[in-house]
Amino acid sequence: MGKTLFDKIWDAHVVTAVEDGPTQLYIDRHFCHEVTSPQAFDGLRKRGLKVFRPEKTTLSPDHNIPTLNQEKPIADPVSKFQVDTLTKNAQDFGLTLYGLGHEKNGIIHVIGPENGLTQPGMTIVCGDSHTSTHGAFGAIAFGIGTSEVEMVLASQCILQPRPKTMRINFEGKLQNAVTAKDLALYMIAELTTGGATGYFVEYAGEAIRNLSMEERMTLCNLSIEMGARGGMIAPDQVTFDYVKGREFAPKGEAWEKALAYWKTLKSDNDAIFDREITFDASAIQPMITYGTNPGMGMAINGTIPTLDAIDEASRISFQNAMKYMGFSAGEKIEGKQIDYVFLGSCTNGRIEDFRQFAAAVKGKMKADNVTAWLVPGSWMVEKQIKAEGIDKILVEAGFELRQPGCSACLAMNEDKVPAGKYAVSTSNRNFEGRQGPGARTLLASPLVAAAAAVTGKITDPRNI
């Protein structure tokens, strides 16, 4: 029997396996940010251990950092302490840090790929669930807890039970104004937020092969929102072209060798997945969420489900969500007024997202009732935005660019949506309070966000 892409990479990284227990897996690349790592470094100190392979770990603060005046000290003393602790840990343990003000600083899942640290065939972990993003390159990438961060620092290994495998095929071509974000929101709505729990997902099919690298990252990023351990896409010419020439990508002879190996990284024709699902990509519409988990999504021109369409056991949660969002079962949400727009995050904070947003708002004006936060995922994205003149288009349309970071995706810094206000957000979670206590989040693509930003209402991007 043939092997899946997942099997090939997993098997190549097994150090040893415990009978009726987890596998000890070797980790090629480890990323750390300031929120989930301090207790792990403390653990090393308590045990008197060093970092086992310091060159394989890269650090960048992203969650707590302000998106204005980054050159000044962070105002919130608790945030400042956490960011300073990351710096101290980098120094004490001899690790590479792209700290605040560094030209490579940014959201960890944006800077890994853009510096060529993320490569096909790797095992990649980070104390962050959206590590699934890196699977877009044909890597096994997944989020871990702080105890596991400590394991990786101490041994460059992790103990993991082998997940089951699932393949999701998207056949057909995407319609106009339908993006990878819409594919993902559609899939999560179909499968629910727990629908892929226990599985590692491979995305395949015509619509996937046609996605750019940025779009593939958006899709894999959201794998975790349906409970999957991770998501991955077999590397192809699109992948190789993206990786080639980046700072940490192999060069010269090493590149040729790597490329030959990477070309073998695809599921064999006779590989069997534990579960296989096929969607018709051509039927997918621009999507938006109406509730308080990413599975509560619908076509933007559709209606919220009626109560009798909801499973009996889920009705309390559904009604709580309606109350929190200020919506009613069965209603349309297109045309409703909104207050905030957030373009950014590790889901949609890359250069292509800014290109799309700018193209959609070009020649129009930001609606007066909207506060818009446009936050690049990294300083490299910011630099590219300026190099392409995208910033000028945005300014002419009444928008301003903020400085890179996680920002309103989880509102650990100042960028909090006030209670009761509606935010159309390109991020990944619409949980209660995610963008600030009482904030009401509607997840959508950069195009839907752009349409909302210029009309002040929930608007189908095909109508502007």
Residues at the interface with other proteins (CB under 8 A): 12-13, 15-22, 24, 26, 35-36, 38-39, 42-43, 47, 52, 63-64, 78-79, 81-82, 85, 127-129, 131, 143-148, 150-151, 154-157, 159, 161, 163, 193-194, 197-198, 227, 229, 293, 313-314, 316-317, 320, 410-412, 429, 431-434, 437
Q: How far is the CB of 79 from other proteins (least distance, A)?
A: 6
Q: Which residue type, as a one-letter code, is found at position 329?
A: A
Cα radius of gyration rounded to whole Å, the chain: 21
**144-203 binders of ligand SF4 (CB under 6 A):** none
Sign of the dihedral through C-alpha 96, 97, 98, 102:
negative
Q: Does position 409 bind ligand SF4 by CB under 6 A?
A: yes
Contact 196, 274 (CB under 8 A): no
Q: At residue 184, what are phi and psi to the nearest 5 degrees?
A: -65, -45
Shorter beta-carbon distance to ligand SF4: residue 139 or 410: 410
Q: How far apart are CA 150 and CA 36, in angstroms?
A: 10
Q: Choose from other proteins, ligand SF4, none: what does 38 bind? Cβ within 5-8 Å by kind.
A: other proteins
Q: Choose from other proteins, ligand SF4, none: what does 432 bind? Cβ within 5-8 Å by kind.
A: other proteins
Q: Does position 345 bind ligand SF4 by CB under 6 A?
A: yes
Shorter beta-carbon distance to other proteins: residue 326 or 363: 326
Candidates 184, 233, 287, 406: give the one binding ligand SF4 (CB under 6 A).
406
**Residue 375: which residues within 8 A CB-CB, separation 6 or more?**
67, 342, 343, 344, 345, 349, 401, 402, 403, 404, 405, 407, 408, 415
Q: Does position 114 bind ligand SF4 by CB under 6 A?
A: no
Contact 331, 302 (CB under 8 A): no
Q: Does position 62 bind ligand SF4 by CB under 6 A?
A: yes
Shorter beta-carbon distance to other proteins: residue 30 or 434: 434
Contact 458, 333 (CB under 8 A): yes
Q: Does position 130 bind ligand SF4 by CB under 6 A?
A: yes
Distances (CA, A) of 1 to 51, 199, 201, 393: 39, 20, 19, 54
3-state secondary structure of 378: strand
Give the residues lining the site for ligand SF4 (CB under 6 A). Answer: 62-63, 107, 109, 128, 130, 345-346, 406, 409-410, 427-428
